[in-house]
Structure 1
């Protein structure tokens, strides 16, 4: 079975896209994957062997020089034709800060459609996919790629929604944001119409999107083999609280509330220290807000393998969402794949955020974490946890049981494989 996966980021072990896709696909019998990346970056994976990369820079260069290729096939991780991650100057600065003008500029570049070239067609023809699998995203250029691939191959399309990219339940004062939102909604509805299956990331999203798109959406989570629970033996003094992942979308503000609470708790002697591992660029403002030298340690980014070890060494794993309206609306239907890593480690989870956010609601419903819904309760709840070893052990067991109940990779892959086989039979 051949699956052509399409996305906007390189398939890498150290990013959420590649990590999650490897998780849900690896282990399915007789599966071969090729990957089209509509963006910059270098792949880093042993799981996928065939990659095709198309970037805005190469599209622009091709407009001025037809001999310069838009598309480059990548069969290794050291291809010179690809720009290294994080070294793209002003172009990436605009993308990093989500300037609406950048998104408009990017869509104009892709609208020339010179990327529909012989190299792209040859890559698709040589691979000859059975199914096309892609993110459901409010990215005009990605959806144009899907329209082309669907028409060119006549093969079934499956889309997977990770965030709320369609509804108007958002907050922005930018006219460009709302212009883009309305323009993308039409394309997304058309993408849904030509898709054989639509997967979503949370139960809240399943309810809303099934109603909006008038179809049966399926929830697909990240998963693991939950057969042997890691033993938890308290050994850290002070207690080690670990947060790993993206601190954008206002999450750093909630982490700062934790830092402030720990700072007060640690006045007499250190009782708990929060370690933050993140690849998110840290501005001076964020550094200042998180500056509690005795209570918060900003550690930067580490590999996925190292993160797994750090989580096992932790007493409490921290999940946070922002309390600010704009940030809450951005993530209200999202589910953090990091939580499944937390479940696998069998450690107590402390989750802080509003109750109407999908990840927080999930943890409350499944009793998978100690949940705090109000900023004013953070210090009180932290004190209760820090001074109760039995509570930490109780919720380390509950987090593991939550993963065992809802995230067994065998069950998740069985759903995927059955859907794939049904499409092939049709």
Structure 2
């Protein structure tokens, strides 16, 4: 078996989709995996795969000028064991005019580009993949590429959705409507020839199965789950909370609101409650000032392998989702890659945001975290948090239940091995 992964992001040990791919393919041998990716600003950081082909829009257009020019990562043999924080660019997804126009324009440019070059054909002939595994996003051209390669090589196509760009995102204007119509046509075409389909979680699998009338299997970011994690400190007068991850999609505003409530608790109940953030997101000077005013300790992102050790210094994890209508429609079916990581580290999770979002639901439905609706008044949120901070046994039980859930559902040995077994069926 040889799997060709096609995705926008390269395999990674630190950044969202790349990290999820890296985890679910961790039971594959290096010679069983190769990757075609499109993000020109990324360098792979993975021990799972050593053969990469980077195909950017610029490269594809330049192939018309110099078709023999090699512009690929062919193959990458660097030591990529250690991750580096990746800077996030805040794509203006909330710009209802510019964003969909940019997406449509990009798809048009790709359609006229010379992406199926002699270099790519040569690389594919060397790699000889037997399966295409396509991580589908909100770009139509990637569907075109995955479908064509699957058909030309006459190999099965498996599709994986980690974010919902079709069912629940609000269509804000006619341009959004046109873009979604274009994207759905691409989805339908890809799914029509697919032989296996996956989603990031059960909620998305259920919705997509109903909508497309096809079977979807949930598979999420999997993690190493070890017993004997650092014990939870028995303290009531000092609570340290930490947030790891992006501040995009309105999350910075939610963290600020949460921090204001924490400040009120500290003053009213004489509890030293602190909040620290580790993030690669670019933030404005005004947001930095607001963080400082509200006693938020802002730090640059750290490599993923350092998170378990840093987490030992904290009592709780924080996860937030925006309650702004458009952002919550984007995240409705997506489960954050941080949830499995948090649960495996034996610390209780505090989740703050709209309750219908999948990252909130997975915690509340399974009773493995403290979920607080952002629809509540700040006074009520303050009361809920104070009771949680004051009750050590309750916090400890949430950590225990979360760890058990991670061992059952997100353990790498179970998930990655099961995933490999499923793909083997396509290669039979």
**Displacement, 1:235?**
7.1
| 2:367 equivalent to 1:367 | yes
Q: Which runs of 5+ in 1 are unaligned?
A: 80-84
Q: Is the contact made by 2:132 and 2:156 (CA closer than 8 Å) also made in structure 1?
A: yes
**Displacement, 1:319?**
1.0
**Displacement, 1:165?**
2.2
Within 2, Cα distance between the matches of 1:416 and 1:383?
Answer: 42
**216 and 66 in structure 1: CA distance in 2 versus 1, 3 angstrom threshold:** closer
**253 and 86 in structure 1: CA distance in 2 versus 1, 3 angstrom threshold:** closer
Q: Is the contact made by 2:278 and 2:299 (CA closer than 8 Å) also made in structure 1?
A: yes
Aligned position for 2:254: 254
**Displacement, 1:108?**
2.2
Aligned position for 1:197: 196
**Displacement, 1:162?**
0.8
**Displacement, 1:60?**
3.1
Aligned position for 1:82: none
Aligned position for 1:290: 291
**Displacement, 1:103?**
1.8
Aligned position for 2:50: 49
Aligned length: 415
**188 and 285 in structure 1: CA distance in 2 versus 1, 3 angstrom threshold:** farther
| 2:393 equivalent to 1:395 | no
Q: Is the contact made by 1:132 and 1:157 (CA closer than 8 Å) also made in structure 2?
A: yes
Could you say what secondary structure the match of 1:23 adopts?
helix
| Farther off after superposition, 70-79 or 410-419 | 70-79
Within 2, Cα distance between the matches of 1:78 and 1:397?
Answer: 36
Aligned position for 1:316: 316
Q: Is the contact made by 1:107 and 1:140 (CA closer than 8 Å) also made in structure 2?
A: yes
Q: Is the contact made by 1:257 and 1:375 (CA closer than 8 Å) also made in structure 2?
A: no
Within 1, Cα distance between the matches of 2:226 and 2:302?
Answer: 27
Q: Is the contact made by 1:58 and 1:70 (CA closer than 8 Å) also made in structure 2?
A: yes
Within 2, Cα distance between the matches of 1:291 and 1:34?
Answer: 45
Within 2, Cα distance between the matches of 1:312 and 1:178?
Answer: 47
**Displacement, 1:166?**
2.2
Aligned position for 2:61: 60
Aligned position for 1:413: 416
**Displacement, 1:67?**
4.9
Could you say what secondary structure the match of 1:336 adopts?
coil
| Farther off after superposition, 68-77 or 260-269 | 68-77
Aligned position for 2:178: 179
Within 2, Cα distance between the matches of 1:366 and 1:31?
Answer: 38
Could you say what secondary structure the match of 1:185 adopts?
helix
TM-score (ref. length: structure 2): 0.89
Aligned position for 2:126: 126
Within 2, Cα distance between the matches of 1:106 and 1:140?
Answer: 9
Q: Give CA-to-partner distance per residue, 1:6-59, whole Å, 9 cap, x none.
A: 111222222112221121111246862101011212222232100000112222
**Displacement, 1:64?**
4.0
Supply the RMSD in Å over aligned alpha carbons.
2.6
* Aligned ranges 1:169-248 → 2 under 5 Å: 169-234=168-233, 238-248=238-248
**Structure 1 runs (4+) greater than 6 angstroms displaced:** 92-98
Aligned position for 2:274: 273
Could you say what secondary structure the match of 2:74 adopts?
strand
Within 1, Cα distance between the matches of 2:199 and 2:367?
Answer: 22
Within 1, Cα distance between the matches of 2:412 and 2:332?
Answer: 25
Within 1, Cα distance between the matches of 2:202 and 2:11?
Answer: 26
**Displacement, 1:378?**
2.4
Within 2, Cα distance between the matches of 1:190 and 1:65?
Answer: 32
TM-score (ref. length: structure 1): 0.90
**Displacement, 1:69?**
4.2
**Displacement, 1:347?**
0.6
**35 and 96 in structure 1: CA distance in 2 versus 1, 3 angstrom threshold:** farther
Within 1, Cα distance between the matches of 2:192 and 2:115?
Answer: 24
